[in-house]
């Protein structure tokens, strides 16, 4: 029966080529534009580490001045001071948690003829790698001793490994960061979480660092922050050591808390720290507190996707609605025009259900063609975006979810839209049309 309906549908669509073309184009445009907007939204809203999203927490402290204002919804700063970060790292050794910040170096191999280039670099502790599930191709993170005793050791990613040495296991070799010789202890995969969730404050879609060195080196070698530094207090901060002791906020902090209990304990730990700092009169706000946010909450909190993206999705789906309303109108007109022949079929014994099913199949075929064409439009749209805008390589790419979602949305939306015209035509009394014949 289905294949017969399919034949009928194709015959019917062919009999009114202009209307069919109009409907297919309307559906295709609607699907094309809404899928383009939805893909941008979906990919910017991507969870980069779904397997651990609810176990990794960004740590925030309300450590700013009484009247300080921040752009966040709860008026909390998103970064920590150096002293708070260092203090927090001292406790809770049973859980992995680490401070981090971005700096940068001119990078060279020891070959004097090598032309140096700039690479941003992250100072952090060895926990960073296991917390964020980063795979080592060679070697391992630096040891716990190195986190406590400043040692010039470095972990690099494989892209940099290839650029410096042409690839291979180069652990144990040395390289230059500025004028300091670092020993390579590990080489990680070309890791690039998108969005760069662990430091969205400094550009959510920036490239991940390719160089990682121990956090403790910052106090000794005075590596400048290459990220945002937010000050709220009037204090003279000329030297680097001044900055370390200041209330300037510039450190990111993450904790891995695998269980609910661990999260509670860490929350307690933060509360205890805040109480202690309040007693020392360092934290001056009444609402001084520590807050944990998991990866998804953190991305939402920082509005990584952006308002524009949601506005575009809303507008493009309204646009899709217009396209569908348009198609319903045309379908209705088309179906009603074929009512006389439907009347004959009904008189010859076709049931309402059969007429209904037959017309729905026709609508489905229309939706499928429109949806597939819409997918092509969306692909063209995304390619245009990628070619005309920097940094859209990742965002303007359909992943599998989107690729399958698009035709499903197209067909179901069209079929939904086709129910009314199909119902109208199948409930028409056959006698009326038989009379006028």
- Chain contacts with other proteins (rule: CB under 8 A): 18-19, 22, 25-26, 29, 33, 36-37, 104-106, 116-118, 178-179, 224, 226, 234-236, 238-240, 306-308, 310-312, 314-316, 318-319, 321-323, 325-326, 328-330, 332-334, 336-337, 385, 389-391, 420, 424
* Adjacent-strand bridge partners of 291: 60
At 107, is the secondary structure helix, strand, or coil? strand
Minimum CB separation from other proteins for residue 76, in Å? Answer: 20
**Which structure tokens are listed for 99?**
């401070």
Minimum CB separation from other proteins for residue 322, in Å? Answer: 5
From residue 34, how far is each of 16, 44, 321, 329, 371 by CA, in Å?
27, 15, 10, 21, 11
Minimum CB separation from other proteins for residue 398, in Å? Answer: 16
Minimum CB separation from other proteins for residue 245, in Å? Answer: 15
Minimum CB separation from other proteins for residue 118, in Å? Answer: 5
* Closer residue to other proteins (CB): 121 or 171: 121
* Closer residue to other proteins (CB): 179 or 286: 179
* Closer residue to other proteins (CB): 16 or 87: 16
8 A C-beta contact, residue 373 and residue 24: yes
Cα 24 from chain centre: 32
8 A C-beta contact, residue 418 and residue 366: yes
Minimum CB separation from other proteins for residue 316, in Å? Answer: 6
8 A C-beta contact, residue 322 and residue 416: no
* Closer residue to other proteins (CB): 136 or 240: 240
Q: Which own/partner contact pairs does 376-385 have at CB distance under 8 Å and 24+ positions apart? A: 376/28, 376/32, 377/28, 377/29, 377/31, 377/32, 377/33, 377/35, 377/36, 378/31, 378/32, 378/33, 378/35, 378/36, 378/39, 378/406, 380/32, 381/32, 381/33, 381/36, 382/36, 382/39, 385/36, 385/40
* Closer residue to other proteins (CB): 7 or 241: 241
Number of other residues whose CB lies within 10 A of the CB of residue 432:
11
* Closer residue to other proteins (CB): 364 or 374: 374
DSSP 214-227: ETTHHHHH-PPP-S
* Closer residue to other proteins (CB): 4 or 117: 117
Minimum CB separation from other proteins for residue 80, in Å? Answer: 21
* Closer residue to other proteins (CB): 18 or 145: 18
Minimum CB separation from other proteins for residue 205, in Å? Answer: 11
- Would you call 349 exposed, middle or buried from its count of C-beta atoms within 10 A (0-12, 13-18, 19+)? exposed
Q: Whats the size of the chain, residue-wise?
A: 437
């Amino acid at each position: 029966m289905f294949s017969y309906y399919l034949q009928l549908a194709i015959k019917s669509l062919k009999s009114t080529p202009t209307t069919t073309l109009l409907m297919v184009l309307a559906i295709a445009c609607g699907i094309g534009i809404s899928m383009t907007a939805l893909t941008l939204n979906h990919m910017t809203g991507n969870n980069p580490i779904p397997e651990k999203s609810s176990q990794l927490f960004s740590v925030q402290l309300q450590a700013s001045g009484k009247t300080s204002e921040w752009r966040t919804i709860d008026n909390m700063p998103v970064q920590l001071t150096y002293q708070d970060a260092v203090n927090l790292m001292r406790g809770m050794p049973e859980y992995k948690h680490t401070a981090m910040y971005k700096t940068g170096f001119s990078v060279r191999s020891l070959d004097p003829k090598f032309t140096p280039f700039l690479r941003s670099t992250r100072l952090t502790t060895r926990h960073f790698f296991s917390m964020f599930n980063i795979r080592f191709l060679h070697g391992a993170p630096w040891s716990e001793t190195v986190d406590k005793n400043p040692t010039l050791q470095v972990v690099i990613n494989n892209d940099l490994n290839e650029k410096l040495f042409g690839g291979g296991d180069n652990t144990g070799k040395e390289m230059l960061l500025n004028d300091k010789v670092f020993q390579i202890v590990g080489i990680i995969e070309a890791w690039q979480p998108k969005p760069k969730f662990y430091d969205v404050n400094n550009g959510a879609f920036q490239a991940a660092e390719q160089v990682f060195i121990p956090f403790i080196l910052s106090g000794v070698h005075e590596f400048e922050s290459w990220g945002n530094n937010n000050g709220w207090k009037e204090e003279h901060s000329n030297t680097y050591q001044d900055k370390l002791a200041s209330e300037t906020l510039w450190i990111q902090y993450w904790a891995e808390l695998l269980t609910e209990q661990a999260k509670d304990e860490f929350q307690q730990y933060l509360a205890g720290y805040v109480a202690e700092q309040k007693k020392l009169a360092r934290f001056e706000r009444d609402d001084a507190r520590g807050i944990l946010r998991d990866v998804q909450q953190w991305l939402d909190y920082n509005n990584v996707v952006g308002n524009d993206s949601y506005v575009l999705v809303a507008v493009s789906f309204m646009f899709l609605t217009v396209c569908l309303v348009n198609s319903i109108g045309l379908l209705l007109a088309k179906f009603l025009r074929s009512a006389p022949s439907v009347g004959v079929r009904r008189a010859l014994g076709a049931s309402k259900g059969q007429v209904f099913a037959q017309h729905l199949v026709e609508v489905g075929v229309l939706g499928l063609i429109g949806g597939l064409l819409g997918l092509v439009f969306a692909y063209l749209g995304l390619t245009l975006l990628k070619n005309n805008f920097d940094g859209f390589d990742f965002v303007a790419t359909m992943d599998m979810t989107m690729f399958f979602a698009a035709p499903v949305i197209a067909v179901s939306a069209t079929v939904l839209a086709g129910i009314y015209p199909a119902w109208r035509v199948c409930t028409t009394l056959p006698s009326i049309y038989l009379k006028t014949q």
